[in-house]
Amino acid sequence: MGMVGEFPGLASLRRRVVRAPVNPLDKSTVVSIYPRRIDEVKHTIQPGRFIVEPGSYDKPSILVVGPSSWWREIDEEQPLLEIPVSSIQIAESIVRDYSNGLLACNMGDSMPGLFFLPGAVSLEMIKKDFKSMLDAALVKQRKWFAELVRIGDILWARSNGNPWSISELTRLAAQELNIKDKDWLKDFTTIEKVRCKACGAMRDPNYPVCQVCKNIDDPEMAKKMNLSFAS
Ligand SMILES: [Zn+2]
């Protein structure tokens, strides 16, 4: 039974295409110890949506993929030519396309904890026969997380403590590394920062003086707190 779909690239053609039967033995497995859900959509191939649930070192998540296809037009008359893409290429591209371009990811020793294996591999087999790959993924992912945290510190300092300078991914990285002592990890939903009128840095509205430029940004509060300042 082939899968029915549309050639996705050229909407004007709207030609329906039928996939040739796929090789049931062509399977590959994407393995994830990455704590986020991956939802990769590739518009040029079919099937073209790949979801890898969040995983961890103790409980990796797996996605078994088969081959996909894309279609090449020969001319107006002939049916589109189906070009199969093997499962291992699909698995490789899921890992690469998701990871590539992420901040501080080098696709080598600093990257999300993702890898792929030929064949449909069960979780039990991965834990037993591919433990070294799980270990390697953990090392790479931890190194990447540490790098994200290091960059987070830099962005935090450069932006004078602007909570918007820290991405959700960086917060996740700190959480995964069990780092808790960062100023940028504070709950900014409860401390809404305000901008210093003198220098533009973000400051805690519970204190009248800007930490960065020492401007008395809230003279009313300073008076109330009975603070005196050397001029
Ligand atoms: Zn200031």
The predicted-structure confidence for 74-110, as pLDDT tens digits, reads as follows 888 888 899 999 999 999 999 999 999 899 999 999 9
Question: What's the 194 CA to ligand 1 centre distance in angstroms?
Answer: 10
| Ligand 1 midpoint to CA 215 (Å) | 5
Report the pLDDT value the prediction gives residue 179, as an integer from 0 to 100: 95
Residue 8 clears pLDDT 60, i.e. is over it: no
Q: Residue 1: is its pLDDT beyond 70?
A: no
- Give SS3 for 153: helix
- C-alpha 87/C-alpha 92 separation (Å) is 8
Q: What is the pLDDT of residue 172?
A: 95
Distance CA 20, CA 154 (A): 53
What's the 160 CA to ligand 1 centre distance in angstroms?
9
Span 30-89, pLDDT tens digits? 999 999 999 999 999 999 999 999 999 999 999 999 999 999 888 888 888 999 999 999
Alpha helices of 116-167 — where are they, by DSSP H? 123-129, 131-158
pLDDT of residue 16: 62
pLDDT of residue 193: 80
Distance CA 10, CA 14 (A): 7
Residues at Cβ < 5 Å from ligand 1 ion: 196, 198-199, 201, 210, 212-213, 215
The residues, ordered by sequence, that sit 6+ positions from 135 with a Cβ below 8 Å of its Cβ are: none
pLDDT above 80 (res 13): no
Question: Tens digits of per-residue pLDDT, 151-183?
Answer: 999 999 999 888 888 999 999 999 999 999 999
CA distance 39 to 49: 7
CB atoms within 10 A of CB 63: 19
The per-residue pLDDT for 191 is: 64
What count of other Cβ atoms lies within 10 Å of the Cβ of residue 44? 13
Q: How far apart are CA 208 and CA 205, in angstroms?
A: 7
List, in order, residues 6 or more apart from 106 with CB less than 8 Å away: none
Closest CA to 193 of 180, 206, 181, 209: 206
Query: What Cα–Cα distance (Å) separates residue 169 from each residue in 95, 136, 181?
Result: 17, 21, 17
pLDDT of residue 125: 97
CA 195 to ligand 1 centroid distance, Å: 8
pLDDT higher than 70, residue 190: no
> What is the model's pLDDT at position 148?
98
**Amino acid code (one letter) for 179:** I
pLDDT of amino acid 231: 45
Predicted local confidence at residue 18, as pLDDT: 75
Q: How far is CA 126 from the centre of its chain?
A: 23
**Hey, what are 94's tokens?**
């899921």
User: Hey, what are 19's tokens?
Assistant: 């996939």
Bridge partners, 52 (sequence order): 38
In the chain, the percentage of residues whose pLDDT exceeds 90 is 65
At residue 57, the pLDDT reads 97
